[in-house]
Chain A
Amino acid sequence: MDIAAELREIVPDGVVTGREGLIPYTRDASHFQGAMPSAVVLPSTTEQVSNLLKYCGQKGLAVVARGGGTSLTGASIARADAVVLSLLRMDRILSVSGEDSCAEVEAGVRIDDLNLRLSKTGHLFPPDPGSSLAATIGGIINTNAGGLRCVRYGTTKDWILGVEAVLMDGTVLRLGNRTLKSRIGYDLTSLIVGSEGTLAVVTKAFVKIVSKPESVARLLAYFNDIESLGRAVAAVRASGIDPLIAEYLDRMTMDAVESTGTFKFHIHSQYVLLLDIDRAEESLDRYVSAATLTLKGCGAVEVVATRDRAEMERLYTARKGAYSSLLRLRKTEHDAVVIGDIVVPPSTLPSVFRRVDELVKEHTIRVALFGHIGDGNIHANIFVDMSDNAERERVEHFHEDLARTALENGGSVSAEHGIGMEKVSLLRMEYSYRHSERALGLMKELKSVFDPKGLLNPGKVFD
């Protein structure tokens, strides 16, 4: 029997072969072209996943787990011949308990679908990557995704109580559970979070949920110089205002957003800082006034606060769609937008911004900056003509210099999009900068304990 026939014994109605069926699995949202998989399997149950992995393990077939396929780093496409395991059929929300602050969801559930369901009982699953419409629970766990609300709520790792995960030999592990605490030896759940499908396949998760904030106001503070904006962020944080969201956009990004018609900014400035403040209804206005004073004191040329739900929604959508809006500024179809995803301690933002500005000029590249500034995450969106080798090289150098700037300021080369294929060398750079190359060695050893034959998502995270 050939491989496809044997896979069909395990998932009778869920094996895709044939060039036309497989082509869509050669791409994710990154600019990489993946290899053609030998087959795609679409299991519906943990048992099927277990049997599939066991079979692939015995046959020595590489396996790439895939959720929404929205990875920006080429994490969800195959580097060489592999079986792609799509988790999308595992799309059930199994239970929601406000009492336990917990939801039990299968790996293929999309984040917006989960939040739609939770909104019916006034709850929220906080991680909100810009791709939440399509990204899945399994995907955000494996990339440890961030998003706008990270400044308050942290990243995905802070919201995962436990996972059901299947090892390459077919063993099903149930790690963690519905309780908010559990100290049961090494924290294997946390090890799987962010492992980019290289350790195990996640089939289910217990995620923590919260009540939606009571009253929220959204502030827009306009600045004409980036250092003032950096100071304002530090001052807001120091003043105990503790924003729910703290995002910034540069002029090019604002232009891009305006060009989509989603939002028209109140004045023409070089930068805008977007802050969400939530408090009990009685004290919200007081906090908004205090924040406005702080922002103006740091050099904001204008501060506009709104509590109008429709306007707030438009602003949120505009910010969430910032990367997408920028795509409209591509000059030709060969243009790609490559994303630098660094993070630095917020207190260093003024000097980091100054340096980034210098780098953009030095390398003569076109770049739009925005990011989750509240937690020091800057996305440098670099336009690159993929058919122009000289430009590609300049962009690569900019990328490296940007990463070095983050490291020199106590930050990191990769904040939330993960490593995938794209940032393998930057990861090496970071550990070597910290004289901790051994950490990479340890990771590889751990990987070989989980997956001795190296079959799970080969070629990702490490060379």
Chain B
Amino acid sequence: MTAAAQRLHEEAARCIKCGFCEAVCPTLPSAGYQASKGARGRVLLADEMLERIGRGESLSGLGDSFYSCLDCYACYEVCPAGVNAGKVSHYAKEIIAESDQGVPDMARLMEKNIMRFGSLLPLGKRAASWSRGLELPATGDTLLYTGQMYQLMSFSSALTGFLRRRGELGKRLIVGSSLKFPWLMKLAVLLNDRQMFDEMNNSLRNIAYLLKLAGIRFCYMGADEPYPGTLMFDLGFEASSRAYATAVTDEFRRRAVRRIITVDPHTHDILANTYPSLVPGFDFEVVHYTELLGSLKFSKTGRQVTYHEPCHLSRRFDSLSAPSDLLGRAADISLPDRHGRRTHCCGGPDELLFPEISSGVTATRTAQLAEAGNSMTVTACPVCLLNLRHGGEVADMSQLLVESAAR
């Protein structure tokens, strides 16, 4: 049994099939309640996968169940046996990638892009345009690491919109050709939602402003800053992720970095929770920017907002209360019924591979947020920000914090 198969077995074997996870798994209702696209179904199909491996049979037909998992860990919160169907899906994807049986072309393309361009898309200098005029040093003890997440949103959303309009066949053709001719990806970045690009850049400028206001000195890698490889890891490309994370870490070391300030939940999560297992000796201090702003004086802006807590902050970190603490000082916040560790995914992670499921999850979440009764939602994640926009006014937390700190 391979290491991934062993991990899969250990996670799935504890399941008692109670179905609790299904009741909170966002993909189940969005996939029309087909159980194979829900948490318990994933665990049961993991058992099937292990049996097939034991019998030396093909794994084909199993992939969709695991690739459609949002990696949101809502299931783990309610599982009486401590099983995480998100992790089950992850290990299953590792096995599929390892055995090269049924990896979706889109997943392959993302892996190729990351390995080739150091990002999901070759953004080049555009990735650093937000920092123009800030005169940030390129090396230093403390690094502000954006991981290109805010910057990527306007391009990835334009690209997925473009692909969606081409239909299933068109999408397959484009993805297939891009796999053969990587330079096509350079054309892909010509698709951009300019307004969103500016908004996302503004969030980054806000964050930098707040950190400076709090007296934090930091460096930034500019156009050389690599994406952390999150999606490649999430898609199960274990070996590539290891190699890639090692290269990213080497770059941190080359710049004499000791402390890394992250700005988005996905990068914070992968650096704090996954890099240490991918890169031997990864011993950097990883902090979320909000953890450094406690000393700032925030006064209430008078705004009434609903806070959508990103899964990768509220479920991956037990003691990270800074984002909601700060927001509470800046505005009157309401929380939707599903909040805290029971928060609900925005649907973003499924946008590339399962756009219909993604839209369904987004619609559910926007309805839950609307029920909380405020006209504005605030979040602290570019992926959530992008997805929840379909349901009304959404602002990045940094915007409110800047407004509040300036009063």
Instruction: List chain A positions with a Cβ less than 8 A from chain B.
Output: 13-14, 16, 18-21, 23-29, 40, 42, 68-70, 86, 88-89, 91, 110, 112, 116, 131, 133-134, 321, 323-325, 327-328, 333, 336-337
**A–B Cβ pairs within 8 angstroms, 27 of them:** A19-B48, A21-B34, A21-B35, A23-B45, A23-B48, A27-B17, A28-B19, A29-B16, A42-B33, A69-B40, A70-B20, A88-B33, A110-B23, A116-B337, A131-B18, A133-B20, A133-B23, A133-B24, A133-B78, A134-B18, A134-B22, A323-B80, A324-B80, A325-B80, A327-B81, A328-B81, A337-B16
Q: Is the CB of A24 within 8 A of B41?
A: yes
Q: Which residues of A contact B287 (CB under 8 A)?
A: none
B359 at the interface (CB under 8 A from A): no
Q: Is the CB of B35 within 8 A of A29?
A: no
Q: Is the CB of B13 within 8 A of A333?
A: yes
Q: Is the CB of A70 within 8 A of B18?
A: yes
Q: Is the CB of A328 within 8 A of B82?
A: yes
- Nearest first, the 10 closest Cβ-Cβ pairs linking A and B are A324-B80, A24-B35, A24-B41, A134-B23, A88-B33, A333-B13, A29-B18, A134-B19, A20-B61, A27-B17
Q: Is the CB of A20 within 8 A of B17?
A: no
Q: How far is the CB of A138 from chain B (nearest CB, A)?
A: 13
Q: Which residues of B contact A42 (CB under 8 A)?
A: 32-34
Q: Which residues of A contact B14 (CB under 8 A)?
A: 327, 333
Q: Is the CB of A327 within 8 A of B80?
A: yes
Q: Which residues of A contact B80 (CB under 8 A)?
A: 321, 323-325, 327
> Which of chain B's residues 1-30 have a Cβ closer than 8 Å to chain A?
13-14, 16-20, 22-24, 28-29
| Chain A residue at minimal CB-CB distance from B34 | A16
Please, how many angstroms separate the alpha-carbon atoms of A70 and B17 in the complex? 8
Knowing A21-B36, A23-B48, A24-B45, say if A134 contacts B61 (CB, 8 Å): no
Knowing A18-B61, A20-B61, say if A134 contacts B20 (CB, 8 Å): yes
Q: Is the CB of A89 within 8 A of B24?
A: no
| Chain A residue at minimal CB-CB distance from B42 | A24
Q: Which residues of B contact A70 (CB under 8 A)?
A: 18-20
Q: Is the CB of B48 within 8 A of A20?
A: yes
Q: Which residues of B contact A40 (CB under 8 A)?
A: 34-35
Q: Is the CB of A68 within 8 A of B23?
A: yes
Q: How far is the CB of A171 from chain B (nearest CB, A)?
A: 25
Instruction: List chain B positions with a Cβ less than 8 A from chain A.
Output: 13-14, 16-20, 22-24, 28-29, 32-36, 38, 40-41, 44-45, 48, 61-62, 64-65, 78, 80-82, 337
Q: How far is the CB of B25 from chain A (nearest CB, A)?
A: 10
Q: Which residues of B contact A19 (CB under 8 A)?
A: 48, 61
Please, how many angstroms separate the alpha-carbon atoms of A128 and B233 in the complex? 41
Q: Is the CB of A29 within 8 A of B34?
A: no
Please, how many angstroms separate the alpha-carbon atoms of A25 and B33 in the complex? 12
Q: Is the CB of A24 within 8 A of B33?
A: no
Please, how many angstroms separate the alpha-carbon atoms of A186 and B290 in the complex? 66
Q: Which residues of A contact B81 (CB under 8 A)?
A: 324, 327-328
Given A18-B61, A328-B81; 4 other pairs, CB 8 A cutoff? A16-B36, A24-B45, A89-B33, A131-B19
Q: How far is the CB of B319 from chain A (nearest CB, A)?
A: 15
Please, how many angstroms separate the alpha-carbon atoms of A112 and B35 in the complex? 20
Knowing A42-B33, A89-B32, say if A20 contacts B22 (CB, 8 Å): no
Q: Is the CB of A24 within 8 A of B18?
A: no
Q: Which residues of A contact B33 (CB under 8 A)?
A: 42, 86, 88-89
Q: How far is the CB of A299 from chain B (nearest CB, A)?
A: 33
Knowing A20-B62, A110-B23, A133-B23, say if A327 contacts B16 (CB, 8 Å): yes
Q: Which residues of B contact A110 (CB under 8 A)?
A: 23
| Chain B residue at minimal CB-CB distance from A334 | B13
Q: Which residues of A contact B16 (CB under 8 A)?
A: 29, 327, 336-337
Q: Which residues of B contact A18 (CB under 8 A)?
A: 61
Q: Which residues of A contact B13 (CB under 8 A)?
A: 333
Q: Is the CB of A29 within 8 A of B19?
A: yes
Q: Which of B20, B34, B40, B64 is in CB contact (< 8 Å) with A131?
A: B20
Knowing A19-B61, A24-B40, A325-B80, say if A13 contacts B17 (CB, 8 Å): no
Q: How far is the CB of B15 from chain A (nearest CB, A)?
A: 9
Q: How far is the CB of B67 from chain A (nearest CB, A)?
A: 13
Knowing A23-B44, A133-B78, A134-B23, say if A324 contacts B18 (CB, 8 Å): yes
Q: Which residues of A contact B20 (CB under 8 A)?
A: 70, 131, 133-134
Q: Which residues of A contact B62 (CB under 8 A)?
A: 20
Please, how many angstroms separate the alpha-carbon atoms of A27 and B28 in the complex? 17
Please, how many angstroms separate the alpha-carbon atoms of A361 and B24 in the complex? 41
Please, how many angstroms separate the alpha-carbon atoms of A125 and B146 in the complex? 48
Q: Which of A27, A89, A336 is in CB contact (< 8 Å) with B44?
A: A27
Knowing A19-B61, A23-B45, A333-B14, say if A13 contacts B32 (CB, 8 Å): yes
| Chain B residue at minimal CB-CB distance from A18 | B61
Q: Is the CB of A24 within 8 A of B23?
A: no
Q: How far is the CB of B68 from chain A (nearest CB, A)?
A: 12
Q: How far is the CB of B343 from chain A (nearest CB, A)?
A: 15
Q: How far is the CB of B20 from chain A (nearest CB, A)?
A: 5
Q: How far is the CB of A39 from chain B (nearest CB, A)?
A: 12
Please, how many angstroms separate the alpha-carbon atoms of A70 and B16 in the complex? 10
Q: Which residues of B contact A333 (CB under 8 A)?
A: 13-14
Knowing A20-B62, A27-B17, say if A68 contacts B22 (CB, 8 Å): yes
